[in-house]
Structure 1
Amino acid sequence: MKPYRILVVKSLLIMLFVQIGLQANAQKEGKVAFNGYKGTYIYNLFKPASAEHPDGDVIAFRLDRKAQNESNWQALYKFSTPSNYEELKNNYQAAKNKVFEYNPTTAYTADEVWPIFKKKFNYDSLSVYLTQQPLAIAFNILLVDTTAKQNVVYQYRVIQLKRDGTEQHKYTSTPVSANDFFITNKPKSAGRKTTGDVFRIEWRAKATAQIPEVLLVKRSDGVKMPFNRILTTYNVEHRGDSIIYTIEDNQVSKDVLYQYTISPVNRFGGGAKILSDTLRVASLDQQMLIPKIFTATADSIGNNIKLNWAFIKPDYVSVVNIYRSSEYESGYKLLSSTAGYNYIDKTIIPGQKYYYYLVVVDKLGRATERGIKIYGLVHQIKQSDPPANVVVRNVNKHNVVSWTDYNNDTRGYYVYRTNEVGGDMKPITEMIYFDEKAKRNYVYTDTTSNLSPTIGYALVSENLSNTRSGFSKILYLSNPNFRVAAPVIVDFKKDGKGIYLFWQDTTVVKQIAGYNVYRKSGNSSYVKVNKTPVLGFKNTFKDEFLFNDNEVSYKITGVTNADKESEFSNEITVSTSQSVYAPNSLKSFTGKDNKSIILQWQPSQSEVAKYEIYRYVRGADPIKIAEIGAKTLTHIDATYDKGKINYYFIKTIGVNGKTSLPSAETYAGNR
């Protein structure tokens, strides 16, 4: 019932890719350490090696650890790949207690794996077997640190040990702690079912966060009893936009009220943060109370919804309680109670969707959990009346529209506007939803500026069946706030010979015959650039001007046929100075003789006069150690501090005399 094995196979393949990457660059950190239920789990990505079966000169490994606030590494333990059957068998026995989940019925054993491994002493044919954590730990592919403290961030390092006692390759994990939580959406109660002595419990969560890998399941054997972890079968299913969690528990007793919780965790059982709803289950024989049929039939002519149901054992049923809501998730209220097998709901509003569920009480007084939810919807085909008593007034330079609605099935309203008498009516609002608090009287304020000299307004209503009314009477009024609208500068573009400006006309009805462009340089005043207005159908202008590295600002005005000029548009400022950028991809290498450090970099994207190279050690200020010509992209530093880590960065000096910001740093030296 658990699909997590697929996830682990996928994760192991990912580890193999990580292995390739880390072997290519032993200094690079990788995500190879994970918090778990019984400690921190670290992947050993090297090939198998032991004294009897070495990997070249490598015969063993060492696991090191350091806390984030520490500078020195601590050796945790040395280990090697099992070289014989007894060693693998002993490792496997110990591994059973170190993993989050161990199922003896599905687990591979050392007896099955050893004959395959001993043929070549490599992992080429073991990929399926090593997806199981006990075997991965037995082969020392998966290492466990059970001494990690709860609130400490650690890094781990796996090192190859050669026969002569020296180290070969190593790699380091990214930081990991027990507080690296597995963040997912909270599993909410979805249902429960008892079949004989088996409980089947279900939770549901939105699939908008991390997809869970495994589950931490806990159970309380009574309302006031503590919760303890149980090992039981479960399923995690991604269905549509939801994650469905299902557990089955067959270790139960009758007449005990059990409580269950789940926490999604990573494949090692770590990161438990989100706790589900608590679900209570008892071994009660309620199958006879579950309706085998529950339907809703809408009657648009009679304006009602008829509910029908049937039971497997109707003689056991005492009362059927019917609950209804206009929302799926919440808001349910008791609609009626009956001892029959149907009910007609005559209190509905056409176009409103209604949800129903049943709660059944048997003749012993026991009530079921709610049943499945169904819905009914009666459509209203005819149009509703448009809003009445529409009034438009100009208040504080804005047009205020008010109206009254006498319909009982209104979903909402739309306000329409035209900018000329007899012109097209266009909606200017999204739906304004029906509000009971408004008591049928509504107000909308049109804050749009730069409207035409004459404006008309009308209202349309929409009922719950999504059918819209016709227009209310169109009301026109003169616009006392009419003025020539200023254009809006939306963009600019620089090229070698000038600056292009781009703008938009913001008037609703075309009023502009042309445009004037104004410019100021530095702290000077604005001056008009164009001798004659830019034609009204254009929205761009090129200003050819010798900028001399100055900052230039622009504003634009609109001009009517009557030579009436609008106010200034927004201001846009263009920096014409040329930036200087640092070089890219700075790297450092220790020379073969350990007497020098070699620096290499990629050229700056600017016009370069020279590069300045800086060096520092922790606790000291950076010093300039060299100036390099523009075409040189490497430098050898033979004067570095050989007892410390040396840090380097480079600045670019441009041909315009400007200096860039420091490049990204690199470091080398004694580690």
Structure 2
Amino acid sequence: MKLKLFLIILSAILIADSKFAQQNYENMAFAGPNGNFVNTGSEIPFSASGKIILFKYKIERSLANQNSWSEVTQLSAPENYSSFLNNIYTLNQQLKDSIPASVLPLELIWKKAKQFERLDSLKYLGNPLIIRMALGVTYLDKETSPNQKYVYKITKLDRDGNSIESFTTNAVSFPGKYQNNLFTIFSKNASDKFIRLTWKADAANSPARFNVFRRENFQDNFSLINPVLIYNSDENQIVVTIVDSLVQKNNTYEYYLLPLDYYQNEGTASDTVTLPAFSFNKIFPPYNIQVEGADSLDGLKLSWSFDNKNDITSLKIFRSVYSEKDFKEIAEVTGFDSIYFDRTAEPMIKYFYYFQINDQFGEVPLSSAKVFGLYQSKQIPPPPFYLHTDSTLTGVKLIWNKPDEYVNTYHIYRNFGNDEILSELSSIKSSDSVIQFIDTTSTLKGDKIYYYSVRAENNSGRLSNFSDTVQVFPKVKAIITTPKLLKGYTLDGKVFLYWENLFPENQNLEGYKVFRKNKANNSSNENFVALFDSLLSPKQNNYVDTSCIAGNDYEYTVKSYDISGAESEYSPYIEITLPTDPVLPPSGLTITNRDNGILIQWDPLISNKIKNVKIFRYERGSEPIQIGNVNADEFQFLDTSTIKDNLYFYFIISVDNYGSESNRSEELGIRRL
């Protein structure tokens, strides 16, 4: 729990102090509010550890541009965990805004420091300023004058006090200046037990920490408090939320944020927010509102019930001749009133009224329902029209048009089972001319058709007939069953595949795709290639691959798809080797002398897998040479390049469609006549 709280506090520091990701000797001194912070390096100066070279840091100071050095201090890391704790507790008292020791994982930090002996190896654990100072790699120099620039020389000393290496820092003077972007209030929420406030600011110049100040009932000065603080940021903005649970019911509180940078310099405070510790959610607006004609007063009588009389400042009454516009305040009464006479109402005009609740700050957290006077309408309103849907990633969006000006409430209906029976899903109030509603019910499934309809309710509580019914597939990702029990075999140079039929258990199944890859490539699923673009029928749980090549080793897998377009994972793949048929040489070889050469002939080829025939010739003592190449449907070749009385030997070879060659045919010899 301590580590989790520490990580929350550290999140702002990690953003604000990204400069420590890499050591830069030209930028190692920084101004604080009461002195200069000097960073010495990444190595933790253990002077009594098991290191081969023991060392400490010597810090010297000079006025800028004078090169007149005086020793400030010598830094070394604490020798043991007890000394490390003493450093932390001492620094907690000295540093104005350090992280409390109670939220730091000190034992883990010390263990990592002893293990690695380098600050950068501690990663986020080494980022808090108090940790750097406690380990002897950062020093706060308070023995300087404000607004005077100083430079520092950092020297690494061995155990005998000899210099190993040194560097000079940048010039620096305190007090430091921190210019943050202004934090403005974004949201506020109050109750009897807590107050929650959220501020926002642009992300540039991110603070490292925040102080929260509060004042109660406008008395005394603001004081520093320690509420729950939640920090979030991205590349565009920073969001800070505080939750103050130490409040008293009905008391009024003021709050503001004070950002600080990594070196405790104060920035520009946020705007101040004022609100009471009271929840208006517990107040129920006026109800049982009645508007009746008061003939004796030449006007209308408004009567109502209201329970929370002591919790508000007043009730304001608004009136208009329109249901949704041009309302004007006509009276303000106390919470204890329950009757008001509108003597300015004119006869035979319908007036609309509503009540507004006001708190002590003039804000308007609640308003009553609108009511009208003159008569009680018994007409059924027209149903919503032009109802249509838009499936979103978060649910199903319904859009429709307002049927008339007296309708402000809508009832949404949907089927919940596998049938088309509609039941009420929700009701909403809206005065917009175009109304939207998003169904984000967790039971929505992407592989199911849903039906929707809407009914309108007018100001008199009358319900319309159902609107047109629409249907939609949600874009909710459906869980599609992966094909199982994939098996296969080879026959006549083809691969026959089959798998378990998923259609009986999923009627929304759209079909399957078969994927293949050559086993010689690699084993990643990314290299599987679909054997066809369209889907197989959902009831076809088999496929014959006719595009495979004899002699290759293949892996096959299958995916299933539903009617919403969702797809399953790859099924477990199977390996299939397509055997190679031997290529046989032509038979029946004969050779005869002809007037213009030697004619080589052979029997017609039986296999339809032979592409061509190669003819070879040689003489005794020489290598065979190819003298011809004919198509498989030719059965002879005339050698016209022979010389009279020479003895020649011939043989032929078959070549199949994949380029594989047969053995030699029988050899025959003949002398050219």
Calculate the TM-score normalised by the size of structure 1.
0.40
Calculate the TM-score normalised by the size of structure 2.
0.40
